[in-house]
Structure 1
Amino acid sequence: MNGLASALLSLAHSLFGPGFCPGDWVWATSAAGALVALLPPIGAVAVSIIRKGTGNRYDATTLSVFGAIGMVSTLVLPWLLAIGVSGVFQAAYGKKPTGLSATELSSLNSEGGCWVDNQREYLGGGQTVFDVLSSQNGKDMPFFVYLLAFIVLGAGSLFFVMLQGRTAFRRGPKWPSRFFWIPFAAMLVFSVGMEANTALHFWLGFLPFTVLGLIPVAMVGPPPWSVINRSDRSDEPPPRRQPELPGPPPSQVQPRPTPPPPPPPPVNRPYPKTALASAPEPPSPPLGALAAAPGPIPPPPGSRNAGGSRYRRVKQLGAGGFGTVWQAVDTQLNRTVALKIAHAPDRDTAERMQREARALAVVSHPNCVKVYDLAEEPDGLALVMEYLEGRPLAELVDGQGPLDDVAAGRLWATMAGALAAAHEKGVLHRDIKPSNIVLDPSGLAHLIDFGIARSQGDSKMTATGMMIGTPDFVAPEQAMGATASPASDAWQLAATISYALSGQPPRGTRETPMAALMAAARAEPVSRLPQRSAHARLLAASLDPEPRRRPTLNAVRREVEGWLSRAGKSADGPVTRVVPRQPGSGLPRR
């Protein structure tokens, strides 16, 4: 290793060895430290390149590779070279073989200037770092100079090596960065055997280049979201296999007839494949099975025995093209509910309301509105839902202005969790927009109006003339007629967060809904993103026109919660404080 260290010193002397104070070899020692400081960034760049293909897949192979790269680039090679450089100067002082040429040894034996009388003695004939720290007495400089220099230079170098590791592991958990900073911390401890003056000038050259080493690591960039999403899916546990029952030896097993094909999966399993067109659709559950709270089973729609209503209406909350929403009181359970009563309850309307009830009944999340029942009212079929006191996000932003980064981050993380819970049940929302997010008086967000939600196993039923989604907040693939997916919901949620931060849809506003729909179908670039927001880059990635390149909702939640944690904020705090409305003004729910 002394041969490699002497070659490093010769190279450093030829690159930067000016003949002024404190001497050419003193400067060459700092240059050698700068060259050694290139090793951790090289390792971080290698990790970044590997993660372009592996993403966040941390199995035994990738962990072994990353651990080996971190160990070699931050501990083994830097420590051997640092100790070797010090050993070359100590060998020169003791007149032992060094690997340097006669000309280099002659210049090393010259005067350096300033406080350095002889460079060979200054760099090789003093105390080691351990001797200086243990005796608290310096030979060429006061002890406090050595102590301050070693603390500042060592801690600074450790900090920037840690940043290099964290940069290499962007868009993923931060714990793998320990492969870089823990070995480097060990390298600092092991280097106490260096000659004190050599170590001082070595670390003076090392620290600035650890700062510059962040640049190439950052330029490589994180792995694309498509790779991260693929690695996240690969980490999901495989389905549990049934244990094999003991039986006779294979030679005694009688041949069995080929078993019939297995039945299709249930409707509400996460992301089941749609059944073949020729397969019969499973019968819908009875309406009474949709109830999430105790109560009498309502008669089926269209029955003449519906009788009077158990729900006493208090006031109308809102009305739209689909129907009317009322605040009502359940006279049997004595609780306030919201009644969503459809206009013109034809067969398609009834199917749509049953689909919404099924979607909400299987989703259990504190930030999703709850469904209690599906009842036959005298004036039409009614969906009985949880009553939320509060205001829609759209009204709040229009009236009080955009949210700040902390409030928007909490909103994003909360709604991403709610949607992920729905997706795990195979339910897509398909119409996420600011008016479908309600903030209650405590500032907590709730996702409402699953009116066009559909389980992935349901048939594609759409009312005539009904547009799937809102044009300003519809994903490009939905506008082009493609099948909705979890990535479509993720796009709509990101568009809603962008609106909450800027006060306008990400593609801007159009004069007519048809113009907005055409802009979405053409996948026009988003031009109204909040550029000054801390979430701007994640928003741009989530609003990518290509669904496979978008981060999943779980990845978004991890990123946003990590940002909130680094900002010292809780992810489950209130989005904002909402002042309840005056009596007589209810929550319009569409």
Structure 2
Amino acid sequence: MNGLASALLSLAHSLFGPGFCPGDWVWATSAAGALVALLPPIGALAISIIRKGTGNRYDATTLSVFGAIGLVTALILPWLLSNGVSGVFRAERAGTKSGLTASEASTLTSGSCWVDTQKEYLGGGPNVYEVLFYKNNAALPTFVYVAAFILLPAGSLLFVILQGRTAFRRGPKWPSRFIWIPFAAMLAFSVGMEANTALHFWLGFLPFSVLGLIPVAMVGPPPWSVINRSDAPPRREPEPYRPPPPSASQMQPRPTPPPPPPPVNKPYPKTALASAPEPPPMAGALAAAPGPIPPPPGSRNAGGSRYRRVKQLGAGGFGTVWQAVDTQLNRTVALKIAHAPDRDTAERMQREARALAVVSHPNCVKVYDLAEEPDGLALVMEYLEGRPLAELVDGQGPLDDVAAGRLWATMAGALAAAHEKGVLHRDIKPSNIVLDPSGLAHLIDFGIARSQGDSKMTATGMMIGTPDFVAPEQAMGSAASPASDAWQLAATISYALSGQPPRGTRETPMAALMAAARAEPVSRLPQRSAHARLLAASLDPEPRRRPTLNSVRREVEGWLSRAGKSADGPVTRVVPRQPGGQAPRR
């Protein structure tokens, strides 16, 4: 150990050993501390480079490698070198072999200022433990040692923690313990160093532990394509079915069973959704083509309507939305009634009903029923009293970073829940997010939602979505994907922060669509926002380079936690509208 430490001291003395107060070897001790401070950043740098290829895949192999790197660079080598430096000076004072050359050892007899002899000052005093817990005759006042041995190691530990967390950007931060916990153990094991040696050693260590953050930060985090690949669950190929061998009883001939009785025609059940079977576990079958819609109670063929309409909430090209009261259950609902009850309309409404029925998330609007009203097919949904995000931003201005972060994390969770069921929204925009009076956000209008793998309902080549908030690949006619929903959500968050779409506004929808199809760069991002970098990554024109919604939610919730804010708080406080004022929108 003394041989390695003496080589380190000789190198430090040749690099920085000025002959002024308090002495060349005292300054060389601080230079040795600076060289040892480079070891934890080297470990963090190695981990950052490894994560460029592994991302967040923390299996037994990668964790073992990270643990070994942390032990070597943050515990074993720093402890051996720091205690070895102290041992070299002890050996020189005792007159035994230290590893220094004769010419180097001869200069240890000099000193200046408060140091009479560097050999005695660095190798003959009490150690750190004795200075902290016992009264000893040390070269400096006790309070100087106490302050130095608390502030200097604590500051060094802080920056080693930051080095570890920087190495594990875009992922869980708990593996950074592989770096800073060994270093904390090294601090505890170094109490045997001579107090004066330790004082000057840590004076050199601390500034270079700060500088060690720079190379780790320059390496950068793993690309989102690697993060997404490592976050994806491993695919398991299904095992081929192997029928069991027939038993002796099965090999015997059996009498032919009688033919089944002819099917009996059963009447339709009361409502379409009540009669719909439970969705199968396979995501690809969630949005199967619906069959004919039966006449529910309250339809033209059943006599009278179950839903008493209160007021109209809105109207569009597809249909009209009403606030109504369910007379059987005595609750307020929203009725979405189609203008033209043709087959395509029925399929679209059945699709929206099934999409919402299988998605169970508190921030997705709930669907109750699919009924046939006298003037058309009606989707019966949860009534949300509140205001759309678009209306709120237009009227009150953009959201701040905390509110936008809560909105992003909440909507990312809702969309991720829909994607787990195989449902894509495909039309996320500010007007499809409603904020209720408590300030909580709800995702609405799954009218063009489809299961992954389904064919388009629109004509061949027709774009699905809103031009200002459509992903580039959708505008070019490619199939929608979870990455497309993630792009649209990021565009909506950018609008909430800046008050305008990320590509800016165009004079006509066709111009906006052409800008999207050309994948024009986003030019209206909120640059001063804390979410600017994550927004830029999420709005990447290449889908595979975008972070997944789960990655986005983890990043944003981590930022909110570091800011001391909860992720489940209100996005904003929406004042309920007064009676007689403008009607609330669903």
| Aligned partner letter, 2:397 | G
Q: Distance in 2 between matches of 1:285 and 1:116?
A: 95
Query: Hey, what does 1:117 align to over in structure 2?
Result: 116
Query: Hey, what does 2:560 align to over in structure 1?
Result: 564
| Aligned partner letter, 1:551 | P
Q: Distance in 2 between matches of 1:283 and 1:54?
A: 41
Pairing partner for 2:290 from 278, 284, 291: 284
Query: Hey, what does 2:498 align to over in structure 1?
Result: 502
| Aligned partner letter, 1:129 | V
| Aligned partner letter, 1:586 | A
How much does 1:29 deviate?
0.4
Pairing partner for 1:479 from 475, 493, 499: 475
Query: Hey, what does 1:428 align to over in structure 2?
Result: 424
Query: Hey, what does 1:443 align to over in structure 2?
Result: 439
CA contact (8 A) 1:496 1:505 kept: yes
* Residues 84-233 of structure 1 aligned to structure 2 (within 5 Å): 84-110=84-110, 112-233=111-232
Query: Hey, what does 1:391 align to over in structure 2?
Result: 387
For residues 440-470 of structure 1, what are the alpha-carbon distances to aligned partners after superposition, in whole Å with 9 as ceiling and x for unaligned? 0011100001111111253321269974111
User: Secondary structure at the residue paired with 1:172?
Assistant: coil
* Residues 180-579 of structure 1 aligned to structure 2 (within 5 Å): 180-234=179-233, 269=281, 272=284, 284=290, 287=293, 297=296, 305-462=301-458, 467-579=463-575
| Aligned partner letter, 2:205 | F
TM-score normalised by length of structure 2: 0.91
CA contact (8 A) 2:12 2:31 kept: yes
CA contact (8 A) 2:463 2:477 kept: no
Structure 1, unpaired ranges of 5+? 255-265, 275-280, 289-295
For residues 551-570 of structure 1, what are the alpha-carbon distances to aligned partners after superposition, in whole Å with 9 as ceiling and x for unaligned? 11111111111111111111
CA contact (8 A) 1:318 1:587 kept: no
Distance 1:138 1:396, change over 3 A: farther
User: Secondary structure at the residue paired with 2:474?
Assistant: helix
How much does 1:109 deviate?
1.6
How much does 1:511 deviate?
0.7
For residues 238-260 of structure 1, what are the alpha-carbon distances to aligned partners after superposition, in whole Å with 9 as ceiling and x for unaligned? 589899999899xxxx9xxxxxx
For residues 187-227 of structure 1, what are the alpha-carbon distances to aligned partners after superposition, in whole Å with 9 as ceiling and x for unaligned? 01111111111110000000000000000000001111111
Query: Hey, what does 1:44 align to over in structure 2?
Result: 44
Query: Hey, what does 2:266 align to over in structure 1?
Result: none
Q: Distance in 2 between matches of 1:32 and 1:368?
A: 60
How much does 1:400 deviate?
0.6
| Aligned partner letter, 1:358 | R
Q: Distance in 1 between matches of 2:473 and 2:184?
A: 50
Identity %, equivalent residues: 85
How much does 1:134 deviate?
2.4
For residues 522-577 of structure 1, what are the alpha-carbon distances to aligned partners after superposition, in whole Å with 9 as ceiling and x for unaligned? 11111111111111111111111111111111111111111111111111111111
Structure 2, unpaired ranges of 5+? 252-277
Q: Distance in 1 between matches of 2:309 and 2:460?
A: 30
Q: Which range is displaced more, 134-143 or 315-324? A: 134-143
How much does 1:587 deviate?
3.2
CA contact (8 A) 1:75 1:184 kept: yes
Distance 1:248 1:319, change over 3 A: closer
Distance 1:529 1:126, change over 3 A: same
How much does 1:273 deviate?
9.3
Q: Distance in 2 between matches of 1:181 and 1:335?
A: 57
Count, aligned residues: 557
CA contact (8 A) 1:373 1:384 kept: yes
Q: Distance in 2 between matches of 1:337 and 1:32?
A: 74
CA contact (8 A) 2:297 2:303 kept: no
Q: Distance in 1 between matches of 2:280 and 2:205?
A: 58
For residues 291-320 of structure 1, what are the alpha-carbon distances to aligned partners after superposition, in whole Å with 9 as ceiling and x for unaligned? xxxxx9459xxx962532211111111111
User: Secondary structure at the residue paired with 1:136?
Assistant: coil
Cα root mean square deviation, aligned: 2.5
Q: Distance in 1 between matches of 2:153 and 2:187?
A: 7
Distance 1:451 1:282, change over 3 A: closer
Q: Distance in 1 between matches of 2:21 and 2:93?
A: 20
CA contact (8 A) 1:40 1:73 kept: yes
CA contact (8 A) 1:427 1:454 kept: yes
Query: Hey, what does 1:262 align to over in structure 2?
Result: none
Q: Distance in 1 between matches of 2:156 and 2:243?
A: 60
Distance 1:465 1:80, change over 3 A: closer
Q: Which range is displaced more, 305-314 or 502-511? A: 305-314
TM-score normalised by length of structure 1: 0.90
Q: Distance in 2 between matches of 1:245 and 1:162?
A: 57
Q: Distance in 1 between matches of 2:415 and 2:46?
A: 36
